[in-house]
A and B are shown apart, each in its own frame.
Chain A
Amino acid sequence: MLLLLEQCLNGLQFGLLLFLLAAGLTLVFGIMDLVNLAHGSFYMVGAYFAATFVALTGSFVLGAMLALAATLLVGMAVELIAIRKLYGRDHLDHVLGTFGLILFFNELVRLIWGPAGMNLPLPPYLSGSIEILPDVYYPVYRIAIIAAALAVALLLYLVVMRTRVGMLIRAGASNREMVGALGINIQLLYTFVFGVGAALAGLAGLIEAPILTAQIGMGENILIVALVVIIIGGIGSIRGAFMAAIFVGLADTVGRAFLPELFRLVMTPAAASALAPALSSMLIYLLMAIVLVLRPQGLFPVDRK
């Protein structure tokens, strides 16, 4: 029971992390109609920036802030230089162009920071565990992740639902041409949204860096999971991305923890230990395939009139 609770918290934390990645991806997808495979690169860049700035400044929070700002700038620069040319093109072009960006960023990071990964040490106040229930200890850092990501999600919700910029973003997601026709500087909006999406991915990266260390190619696998999230949630929908991210995070984490046990109930231990890990890694892709077959527009589609 306690294990389940702990795994659920882990799943929630992973889900929120996925949401940070998926939010930017789904906005860019929904508004600019752009498949951005290079989104994972911002995740990686954010982690490296954080490791560098934290080491330079000696402060975790200050370093993280600087890393976020730097990732935002990198994202906007990439939009201005490269991504802008891809709007309105075929999805295949997006896949290829941004695939090229992944290669570029991986090598750039290797050139600047070297092939070895970078550690991001946690400050004392974030390391260690606290007692969340009598006799149940949980790492402080993971709780901080959950709190921070929830705060960001709330902030994002408020910005998107309650501000003028957010209104434009929502309008852009449902009808791009109309927003442009009404005299909004759509180019500027695009650059802004892309930069914010990159910064959110960078935030996810810097959050993961202390747990997994910053390394080259770290964004590639998680990017695919984030794509799964936005497909399940419905492209362009922040709410959908949030729900789907939590769902996928929980399914993945809890599945990995409990599928072996479940399988052992119905088959021999040898077969269970062979089958369960593969199946639990496949679980989220299976979910996505089922969603796509039954409800191709995702669970929470944006209304497109």
Chain B
Amino acid sequence: MSAFFTARSIVIGALLVFLALLPVYVVATGQFFPLTLFTRIVILALAATSLNLILGYGGMVSFGHAAYLGLGGYVVGILAKEGITSGFVQWPLAIAASVLFGLVVGALCLRARGVYFIMITLAFAQMIYYVAVGLDRYGGDDGLTIYRRSQFAGLIDLSGKVQFYYLCLALLIAAIFIVSRLVDSRFGMVIQGSRSNDRRMRAIGFPTFRYRLAGFVIAGMMCGLAGALLANHTDFISPAVMHWTRSGDLIVMIVLGGMGSLFGPLIGAVTLLMLEEGLSRVTEYWQIIVGPLLLFIVVYARGGIAGALAGLHRG
């Protein structure tokens, strides 16, 4: 971090400028597709950022993080269906539901370590997936269309594409800022210390379980908000949002961008979804390229893109 103009900071800066100016281009050309795509990217980057807090910094490989995307989304969807469209009710409830879920699941999961932790978080995500499948009144397997986006009493109109995009972007930046403050705080240090050596942290007197649980809940909270955004973005919510492969996608974004780096999840989300978009235009079978690419990154480029950029400078 000594030099300001490292390859990494240039890429991140360029990306942020691009994200901030994208609506200008879109409004100028009248081509709204890129904005829709990037709204989705920004929302998923928010979800990945939240996961990065516990996965990248805390070493907690949660394989059920997409559950919160669904949870937040379903709170919005169910309330909308029952006639409560106010965002001032919907969003806090979405966050509250995520906190509650995170507390219960975290309290149980954080007893487990390593691969057991991966599996038990997955199990809880599967449970809530099947709860959603069983919600016959709210569409069950087919999902639920949301006819009215969250209303904010005229403060902001989520149906306005540009407004909605900027709201998502602002929330993403806020989340990255919060994560950066958390990570550098005493709280973040404890979590990172616990990743390296939990026993030692406890030996020197930190009740790490509480710290890790708090981290787990904060991550869930942010992702629940991302879920509420995603439901508003697609005007639709279905169990597919929390399929376990979606949780896998979030992990992929983080590792692709660089684990435990602030902007890694954003870079990863942009890369993965652009790759998807770009390759799917070249060939219908784009995953045949993405799959092995992923394996290649895991085997040969552990630090992801952020790590490669940092390495460029070092080497």
Contact = CB atoms under 8 A, between A and B. Distances in A.
Interface of A: 35, 37, 82, 85-86, 89, 91-93, 95-97, 99-108, 110-111, 220, 224, 227-228, 231, 235, 274-275, 277-279, 281-282, 285-286, 288-289, 292-293, 296
A92 B287 contact: no
Contacts of A102: 245, 291
Contact of B288 (A108, A231, A296): A108
Nearest to B299: A85
Given A100-B292, A228-B123, A282 B108 contact: no
Given A107-B287, A285-B130, 5 more contacts: A86-B298, A96-B255, A107-B291, A285-B123, A289-B108
Interface of B: 55, 61, 63, 108, 111-112, 114-116, 118-120, 122-124, 126-127, 130-131, 133-137, 244-245, 248, 251-252, 255, 285-288, 290-295, 298-299, 302
The 4 closest A-B pairs by CB, nearest first: A278-B134, A100-B294, A104-B291, A103-B291
Which of B118, B123, B285, B302 gathers the greatest number of chain A CB atoms within 10 Å? B123
7 contacts: A102-B245, A104-B287, A105-B291, A228-B123, A278-B131, A288-B120, A289-B127
Contact of A281 (B108, B111, B133, B294): B133
B295 A277 contact: no
Contacts of B135: 278
B290 A91 contact: no
Contacts of A275: 134
A303 to B, nearest CB: 18
B123 A111 contact: no
A285 B136 CA distance: 21
B78 to A, nearest CB: 14
Contacts of A220: 244-245
A224 B244 contact: yes
B112 A296 contact: yes
A289 B123 contact: yes
Contacts of A286: 127
A106 B252 contact: no
A300 to B, nearest CB: 15
A92 B61 contact: yes
Contact of B108 (A37, A96, A101, A293): A293
Contacts of B61: 91-92, 95
Contacts of B290: 100, 103
A238 B248 CA distance: 28
A278 B255 contact: no
Contacts of B294: 96-97, 99-100, 103
A275 B136 CA distance: 10
Contacts of A106: 287
Given A104-B291, A281-B130, A95 B63 contact: yes
Nearest to A290: B108
Given A107-B287, A227-B119, A293-B108, A96 B114 contact: no
A292 B298 contact: no
B295 A292 contact: no
A104 B118 contact: no
B133 A278 contact: yes
A293 B111 contact: yes
Nearest to A231: B119
A91 B59 CA distance: 11
Nearest to B131: A278
Nearest to A92: B61
Contacts of A86: 298-299
Nearest to A104: B291
Contact of A292 (B112, B133, B302): B112
A110 B291 CA distance: 14
Contact of B115 (A91, A111, A224): A91
A92 B251 contact: yes
Nearest to A111: B285
A224 B137 CA distance: 27
Contacts of A278: 130-131, 133-135
Nearest to A106: B287
Nearest to A105: B291
Given A103-B294, A282-B131, A296-B111, A288 B119 contact: yes
Contact of A282 (B116, B127, B302): B127
A107 B285 CA distance: 6
